[in-house]
Amino acid sequence: MEFKQEGAHAAAGSEELFIEKIAQHRQKLYGIAFSYLHNEADALEVIQEASCKAWVKRKSLKEDAAFLPWMIRILINCCMDELRRRKRVVPSDKAGEDQQVEMVSSHRIDLERTIAKLSAKYRHVVILKYYHDLTIADIAKVMNKPEGTVKTWLHKALKQMRQWL
């Protein structure tokens, strides 16, 4: 996936144009949110929160070509905020909750646990690269880091994951 220039400047444009740009990338945004939160309702809620934050901060977007990486960065920050909130909440008796039971292979469970053990920067790179097929250049734009740094983080993350698995 390539981030490309897309006509009118969303930050300076109308609310309709801004909403249209969000809608244009809704599947990618949902996929990223879901890969962090593992829950449809939470993913949709965090997309809404990220969209509101992006609308409020739309003046900070300097060029339209950077809209998607900018929006993904806001979304990831909102996901991380939600995950921190979850850690503070102590779950009560879950037996009464209506939980969906999903058959998941033990390999996938091991992989998810291993990814969760990675530091945040490594986890972001792995999720964006392998769950969402972003290129190194695109990940560098999203994370606002040089491509060399992203490559190093990806290499170190994969090395750690190999050791743990």
pLDDT at 104 (0 to 100)? 53
Q: Which domains does the chain have, with CATH numbers?
A: 1-89 (1.10.1740.10), 105-165 (1.10.10.10)
Chain centroid offset of residue 25 CA = 13
pLDDT at 147 (0 to 100)? 95
Summarised one tens digit per residue, pLDDT across range 38-85 is 889 999 999 999 999 999 998 888 888 889 999 999 999 999 999 888
Low-confidence ranges of the chain (pLDDT < 50): 3-8, 93-103
- Take residue 64 and report the two structure tokens written for it: 């339209």
What angle is formed at CA 55 by the lines to CA 54 and CA 60, rounded to 5 degrees? 65
- Amino acid making up residue 120: A
The conformational region for residue 119 under phi > 0 = left, psi -120 to 50 = alpha, else beta, is: beta
pLDDT at 46 (0 to 100)? 95
pLDDT at 164 (0 to 100)? 85
Tally Cβ neighbours within 10 Å of residue 137. Answer: 12
pTM: 0.68
DSSP E strands in the chain: the ranges are none
pLDDT at 5 (0 to 100)? 42
